[in-house]
Structure 1
Amino acid sequence: MNIVPRPLLIQGSYIVRPFIVWYMRGNRFEDPIDNQGYKNLLPYGYENQRENVLSPGTYSLERHRLMWLYLKNETDFFTKAAKVLHIAPEQSFIKRFRNLNHLDYTTSDLESPLADVKADICDLPFDDNTYDVIFCNHVLEHIPDDAKAMSELFRVMKPGGWGILQVPISYQRDVTYEDPTITSKEDRRREFGQYDHVRVYGLDYYKRLENAGFIVEQVDYTKQIPASDVEKYCLEKGEILPIVRKPL
């Protein structure tokens, strides 16, 4: 996975997906994004493979399925007209969000062939106060100047707008660990847990978002889902959704 270029991985996945879905169909697990049942989910992980994580039909991970449930049950995202910016759009969501006629939906990424606009998150080519909703998940841990990226997301969000900005967080750390002198893949893998990460976020991640201007709400949505559904959907207990809002 780490050898094949990401664009090729994305393109090739569309070819094999129907065969994998057919082979793995069952009723032990369910993906709430497409309501497809499976006897097992696929293992996934860059460094350490986790069992029953990746849904064959939507390529969703636990965090994607949790976000979908939150959007469906707790927001008006699927019914209210809005201008939406999606940074590094996930395969789990992109076609489904794009097909929602009430959304003016724009995607942006430096490399993904799925994105509408090729852009640097630290220098977004969008006007101030443009978007009602912004999604930017598991991106900021790759960005050397994450403060600049956060400020750009804040800039292009409308007053009163909201978003979800997920990152991997080590809840054993109070302070984010980063060192710009660590540049090799091997050293980054050892220090940050993945070869293309530039830091390990601690609990101060939410303060960093506040420093960019956001109002931040930490939502552990698994606590609001029945335990049987947590197991059925293969959700990761304790996964925090950072819900950000721009003051009016």
Structure 2
Amino acid sequence: MPPLFKKILNTIPRPLLIRLSIIGRPLIAFFLKGSMYTDPINGKSYKKFLPYGYEVVRENVLSPGTLSLERHRLFWLYLKNETSFFSEKIKVLHFAPEQAFYKNFRKMKNLDYTTTDLNSPIADVKADICDLPFQNNEFDFIICNHVLEHIPDDTKAMQEIYRVLAPGGIAILQVPYKADLQKTFEDDTITDPKERAKIFGQYDHVRVYGMDYFTKLEGIGFKVEAVDYTKKLTTTEVEKYRLPKGELIPVCRKLVS
């Protein structure tokens, strides 16, 4: 199954994958019902999760009910337990909206919720992250997870996110990073999809972030807290929810001047 899964991920355009997953998700979830692992996003349990990955296929990580991955479930738990996201009236901007969150956030009455992306079929606003059609200081909370590694000019994208974030607001800017890599590696001469997948981990990534990612965000103007939320959870919870132990969540705040 993993080789076929990898081939599908690397050949079918992402917008089409999104549409196909919407159709097939309920059937897959039904056949995998069980009690071994739980998705905290929908509260449902399964005998196993699905494999996922481009170059390296990770076993037992993709929830069949919400299509959440490890990072999505970690992010959800952090939002639910450590923020007022689910109760406070706030204006939210969500880049490249993940299916794991989209329906839940859309129906939350406390959120003024806008999604944006260049290609996603479920985005409200089709926009370039480097040239956003929004006013300065417009949003109280911004979600931009696993997007910046796709953007050639990530500095400009970060500056735009900072611009549209309101003073006192929060942006969660997750990216794939290597904890053992100090300096981010990028090379814009690498354009072949297979070579990008080999070097950057995915055919449409343009860099591998190192630990200097957090420093770069600070250089944009954010006050950054690298949160290891799995430290607040038990080993049993980390395994039951299938979370990425030790992964840092970049919680970025725009200070009130």
Q: TM-score, normalised by structure 1?
A: 0.99
Counterparts of residues 110-189 of structure 1 (less than 5 Å)? 110-189=118-197
Cα distance in 1 for residues equivalent to 2:203 and 2:222: 29
For 1:198, the aligned partner's letter is V
Could you say which residue in structure 2 is the equivalent of 1:191? Answer: 199
- 1:75 matched to 2:88? The reply is no
- 1:109 matched to 2:96? The reply is no
Cα distance in 1 for residues equivalent to 2:53 and 2:206: 18
Q: CA deviation at 1:233?
A: 0.3
For 1:81, the aligned partner's letter is K
Secondary structure of 2:112's partner? strand
The range that moved more, 185-194 or 129-138, is 185-194
Q: 2:94 aligned to 83, 86, 90, which one?
A: 86
Cα distance in 2 for residues equivalent to 1:90 and 1:134: 13
Could you say which residue in structure 2 is the equivalent of 1:228? Answer: 236
Q: CA deviation at 1:135?
A: 0.4
Could you say which residue in structure 2 is the equivalent of 1:96? Answer: 104
Cα distance in 2 for residues equivalent to 1:187 and 1:50: 20
Cα distance in 2 for residues equivalent to 1:66 and 1:5: 27
For 2:43, the aligned partner's letter is N
Could you say which residue in structure 2 is the equivalent of 1:200? Answer: 208
Q: Percent identity?
A: 62
Cα distance in 1 for residues equivalent to 2:22 and 2:180: 38
For 2:217, the aligned partner's letter is L
Secondary structure of 2:100's partner? coil
- 1:244 matched to 2:252? The reply is yes
- Runs of at least 5 residues in structure 2 that lack an aligned partner in the other structure: 1-8
Cα distance in 2 for residues equivalent to 1:19 and 1:213: 46
The range that moved more, 128-137 or 180-189, is 180-189
Q: CA deviation at 1:151?
A: 0.2
Aligned residues: 248
Secondary structure of 2:11's partner? coil
Could you say which residue in structure 2 is the equivalent of 1:46? Answer: 54
Report if the CA contact (8 A) 2:10-2:203 is conserved.
Answer: no
Q: CA deviation at 1:225?
A: 0.6
Q: CA deviation at 1:9?
A: 1.0
- Runs of at least 5 residues in structure 1 that lack an aligned partner in the other structure: none
Q: 1:6 aligned to 9, 14, 18, which one?
A: 14
Report the RMSD for the aligned CA atoms in angstroms: 0.7
Q: Which runs of 4+ in 1 moved over 2 A?
A: none
Cα distance in 2 for residues equivalent to 1:75 and 1:11: 31
Cα distance in 1 for residues equivalent to 2:184 and 2:22: 37
The one-character-per-residue Cα deviations of 1:59-84 (angstroms, maximum 9, x if unpaired) are 00000000000000000000000000
Cα distance in 1 for residues equivalent to 2:222 and 2:249: 14
For 1:124, the aligned partner's letter is L
Could you say which residue in structure 2 is the equivalent of 1:63? Answer: 71
Could you say which residue in structure 2 is the equivalent of 1:215? Answer: 223
Q: TM-score, normalised by structure 2?
A: 0.95
For 1:91, the aligned partner's letter is Q
Secondary structure of 2:99's partner? coil
Cα distance in 2 for residues equivalent to 1:225 and 1:151: 33
Q: CA deviation at 1:194?
A: 1.3
Could you say which residue in structure 2 is the equivalent of 1:18? Answer: 26
Cα distance in 1 for residues equivalent to 2:100 and 2:255: 30
Secondary structure of 2:236's partner? helix
Cα distance in 2 for residues equivalent to 1:246 and 1:117: 23
The range that moved more, 186-195 or 217-226, is 186-195
